Structure 1
Amino acid sequence: MCKEYDQARDIIKKTKIDLVKLLSGIKNIETFEERETLKIYENLIETIDESEGYLDYLKNPTKEGVLENNPKTGMYYICFDDGTSGADLECGNVLELCDSLGGWHVSGIEKNIDGRYYFNYGDWSPLLDRGFRARKRI
Structure 2
Amino acid sequence: MFFVGVAVLAFLYSLGALGGYLGYLHLYRCAGSRLPLADLAVSALLAVLWLVASSAWAQALRHVRAALGAPLPHCPSPTVGCAPVGVTPMGSLGASVAFGFLNLLLWASGSWFVYKETPLHRPAPPPDPAPSPM
Q: TM-score range by the shorter chain?
A: 0.3 to 0.5
| Higher-helix-fraction structure | 2
TM-score by length of 2: 0.33
Report which of the two structures shows the higher radius of gyration computed on alpha carbons.
Answer: 2
- Structure scoring higher RCO (CA < 8 A, sep ≥ 6) equals 2
Q: Please, what TM-score do these two structures have when normalized by structure 1? A: 0.32
Which structure is higher in strand share? 1
